[in-house]
Structure 1
Amino acid sequence: MNQKILTKLYEEIIDRVSVGIHAVDEDGKTIIYNNKMCEMEAMEKEDVLYKDVREVFHFQENQSSTLLKSLENGEEIVNVKQTYFNNRGVEITTVNNTFPIELEGNIYGAVEIATDVTKMERLMRQKVRQTKTDFTFQQIIGQSHELEEVKSFAKRATRTNSNVLIIGETGTGKELFAQSIHAESDRATGPFITQNCAALPDSLIEGILFGTTKGSFTGAIDNPGLFELAQGGTLLLDELNSLNFALQAKLLRVLQERKVRRIGGSEEIPVDVRVIATVNEDPIDAVANNHLRKDLYYRLAVVSLLIPPLRERREDIPLLVDEFIKKYNDLFKLNVKGVSKEVLQFFVSHSWPGNVRELEHVIEASMNLINYEDRIEMHHLPYQYRRSESEEEVALHPFIESNKMSTNTNLTEQLALFEKQYIEQNLIKNGNHITNTAKSLGISRQSLQYRMKRLNIRL
């Protein structure tokens, strides 16, 4: 094999490996800088090659490049975490193995093999900072029977340290309830740490939850997990049903034994942490569809809270609208007094698949379009809502005609009448089959049974 082919082979290997490789000559100028290093440091090769490391990168006070340290001292540096900044001031954190290049007793350069831990470092800092809650039960807006009942159950859960499972669709306010439980419990002075289980790949979330031990995998360092960081407080695991079964099994073990073992470690670390988990689907369905381990479900569901979707507590919509208008009046320096009758009627009839979060976004978007008006009108709503107004009216038309809606009854009574009729119609359509009716209504079986009891619907 000639030298040209051999050189090409070396270049291909260096550029295709999954770790960063950075080499400097005896003057500290870069001579090798592979593709992975470009990706990790968000730079192009021409930004770095043949330039002095000290001119390209900036280091925190009292710190310097591990490459240059190895070059100057002639020593190997193993598994050292380093935080520095690229030529645009972007912070980067890596774990490095660095060693000098020696020949016949002389040092001709140094090579660094780096693993990127920037994302994990930022996430860990974020979780450590998040030790206070922003919400209490008083800030959960609504006076519907459904919401008041859930709040009552949640308040009782503040008296104990039992695990809690919060069930609800996206945007219903599950984290508000979790924060409120923590804030009014005897753990209020401890940390409140959250982790969305769907936001990260399994390979990353395992280390974040349980911690890592130096040398357990390439670039691993001694790092506490969220269970250790939440010691004495509360750990909220959001969208738990998206966590894979292997990690669910490990989580179950921690809950049972109240001890955590870091990845690659042998030491059992005692943890005093209350776990609150959320799922965005019916847990019975989640178990049946292999999204949630049955044994983990039973362990977590010591206290279960079912947060009703907005379409099931429509009488709360006017209160929420007023609250969001007040919030964005303060933020946008406006003086909006409310919404028009047409807008309120549309809000009450809309199905709100995104729940309270969707309603807030609509209010925010509408107030961005207001000039000098003091009320939100239909033409202020985002386009997709203005377009769907007529569809909502058509959907409600049979109910309006058959019930001869009157202004002599209040909104709560009219909504209860519509709800009862709509459920009865769906029961007939589904042959009085509870499960099939619940699916056609888009609610859980438990929610349907509760509503039938409240509305005195008999099969």
Structure 2
Amino acid sequence: MTIPTIPEVYKELLDAIDVGIHIIDMDGSSLVYNRKMSEIEEMNKEEVLRKNIMEIFLFQSEEESRLLQALQSGKVHKNEKQVYFNFKGQEITTINDTFPLVSEGRRIGAVEIARDITKLQLLTRENAKERTAARFTFDQIIGDSPVLREVIHHAERAARTSSSVLIYGETGTGKELFAQSIHNASSRASAPFVSQNCAALPDSLIEGLLFGSVKGAFTGASSHAGLFEQAEGGTLMLDEINSLSAPLQAKLLRALQEKTIRRLGDTKDRKVDVRIIATMNEDPAAAIEENRLREDLYYRLSVVSIVVPPLRQRRQDIPVLTSYFISKYNEMFQLEVPAITEEVEAVFNRYDWPGNIRELEHMIEGAMNLIYSSEAIEYSHLPLHLRTKFSTSMDMLPPLEAEASTFVAKPLKTYLEDVEREYIQQMLARNNQNVTKTAAELGVSRQSLQYRIRRLEF
């Protein structure tokens, strides 16, 4: 039995989707090879269709081809990495689903659905050296607000030990600055600092990246050390730890508890001496309640918890940060911008800064791209969304002095935190500071209440 001829309309649909599709018949000849697969493997359809795949791809044996395994033995592979070479000698790396095609109980061919990670794999290799550099120290964290100085003080104390640290803060608040500063102030400063964004790679890659692999663990795999081994004696920072899948979080927990790792495909454990600093951009209590973070992993990571405040909670730092970024881009762009105007200062003081310090820097950089000489940054240089938010004339806004003399406005989040703090304090007093009873009355877990007490700092 052969595979029925595929109508042209279906071929057009296959060309429109954003995953690679490769179908072969029982002879191993290519019948379908869609546009995306052509892009992934950098070959024209004419070079592939109606040819045996062993003629156009460089496998040492048929056993190395997932597609031929599916064809010959009916073996199914789900979400597996495959590294191979096309006949031009170009290395291809994909994550594949491969399975046989069956009709009336008989195999008539096989299909492979591929997602391209070639560029991602190259980027991972190219950035390997960059991940081992910790450039920042505590004296480079800009700001003098009491809330920031208190966080720095806590982080400096954490640098004295090798306990795990969990840093929570919104996007753009500077969590990695704190992680690097802790490393550089610790006894591990001369050892590697390795960082990895856990959300940047799929699970099929991140496991091998963290723990390493041995030759033969999967097709194309070679023996290599993972990030744990690369960070030996130093610090491993895992950004967006809550993006890891539950199985990977369990393996990470085991590595932290036993201080050993096992490479993919290996049978022996390897001891590692690594300090873990994990970061998150969401409330850990919410991540636990919504099953994005294992509770036992949270306990292991949060031996020391550091909450980096958003910019709207440290507004008095905006002028010094603004001055710093203007100096930075003056040097980079060879300009002589002196400052921002009073109008711009008023806008900055009233804006909520959802993107925090990163947004402020990008706003300064964008404004200075519009400046030709040594003029100050004006209201007209600000991005459209900000000018729209505060109307076209700053004259419509009341002076800061008049506003302060009558009513002090707070961002909604700050107001809600104040209310939450006061209510929790009242409930604790009602229960004679018994956290367990208070948590039960509030309808939250004891761990969640403890986290909120730390975050609200009372």
Please indicate, yes or no, whether the TM-score normalized by the shorter chain is above 0.5: yes
- Does residue 125 of the first structure (1) align with residue 115 of the second (2)? no
Deviation at 1:234, TM superposition (A): 1.2
Q: Distance in 2 between the 1:335 and 1:420 partners? A: 35
SS at match of 1:275: strand
Pairwise CA distance, 1:93? 5.5
Partner of 2:42: 42
**Structure 2 gap segments, 5+ residues each:** 66-81, 96-113, 427-450
**Aligned pairs for 1:6-405 within 5 A:** 34-35=33-34, 38-46=38-46, 66=58, 92=92, 118-119=118-119, 121-129=121-129, 130-390=131-391, 403-404=404-405
Change in 2 beyond 3 A, CA 1:223/1:78 = farther
Bigger shift: residues 33-42 or 184-193:
33-42
Moved more, 210-219 or 300-309: 210-219
Q: Is the 8 A contact 2:21 2:32 kept in 1?
A: no
Shift of 1:446: 4.1
Distance 2:289 2:394 in 1: 37
Distance 1:233 1:128, change over 3 A: farther
Hey, what's the Cα distance between the residues in 2 that align with 1:245 and 1:350? 38
Shift of the 427–251 alpha-carbon distance from structure 1 to 2, 3 Å rule, reads closer
Q: Which runs of 5+ in 1 are unaligned?
A: 23-29, 52-56, 58-64, 96-113, 406-416, 437-443, 454-459
Whole-angstrom distance in 1 between the partners of 2:190 and 2:46: 51
RMSD over aligned Cα atoms: 4.6
Distance 1:310 1:219, change over 3 A: same
Distance in structure 2 (CA, Å) of the matches to 1:229 and 1:428: 44
Q: Secondary structure of 2:352's partner?
A: coil
State the alpha-carbon separation in 2 of the partners of residues 189 and 249 from structure 1: 30
Give, in angstroms, the shift of residue 122 of structure 1.
2.3
Describe the shift of the 1:124–1:422 C-alpha distance in structure 2 as closer, same or farther (beyond 3 A): closer
Structure 2 counterpart of 1:344, which letter? E
Structure 1 161/202 Cα, relative in aligned 2: closer, same or farther at 3 Å?
A: same
Give the C-alpha shift of residue 261 in structure 1.
1.0
TM-score of the aligned structures, taking structure 1 as reference length:
0.70
Deviation (angstroms), 1:284: 2.0
Tell me by how many angstroms 1:396 deviates: 8.1
Percent identity for Structure 1 against Structure 2: 50
1:50: Cα distance to partner?
11
Which residue type is aligned with residue 118 of structure 1? Answer: T
Q: Distance in 2 between matches of 1:201 and 1:81?
A: 16
Number of residues paired by the alignment? 388
User: Is contact 2:170–2:281 with CA below 8 Å preserved after alignment?
Assistant: yes
TM-score by length of 2: 0.70
Which moved further from structure 2: 178-187 or 217-226?
Answer: 217-226
Q: For residues 339-396 of structure 1, give each alpha carbon's deviation from its aligned partner in whole angstroms, at most 9, with x where no partner exists.
A: 0011111111111011101111111111111123420000000111111124998998
Instruction: State yes or no: 1:418 paired with 2:408.
Output: yes
Distance in 1, Cα, partners of 2:396 & 2:262: 55
Deviation at 1:162, TM superposition (A): 1.2
In structure 1, what is the Cα distance between the partners aligned to 2:413 and 2:205? 45
Residues 71-102 of structure 1 show CA distances to partners (whole Å, capped at 9, x for unaligned) of: xxxx8896996789979xx875689xxxxxxx
**CA displacement at 1:418 relative to structure 2:** 3.2
- Please state whether the residue corresponding to 1:343 is helix, strand or coil: helix
Post-superposition offset of 1:7: 9.0
Question: Aligned with 2:306: secondary structure?
Answer: strand
1:383 & 1:49 partners in 2: Cα distance?
A: 51
* AA in 1 matched with 2:299: Y
Contact (CA 8 Å) 1:193, 1:226: kept in 2 or not? Answer: yes
Per the alignment, in what secondary structure is the counterpart of residue 194 of structure 1?
strand
| Change over 3 Å in CA distance of 1:350–1:207 after alignment to 2 | same
What is the one-letter code of the residue matched to 1:41?
E
Tell me if structure 2 keeps the 8 A contact 1:236–1:277.
Answer: yes
1:433 and 2:423 equivalent? yes
CA distance in 2, matches of 1:428, 1:166: 22
The amino acid of 2:158's aligned partner reads A
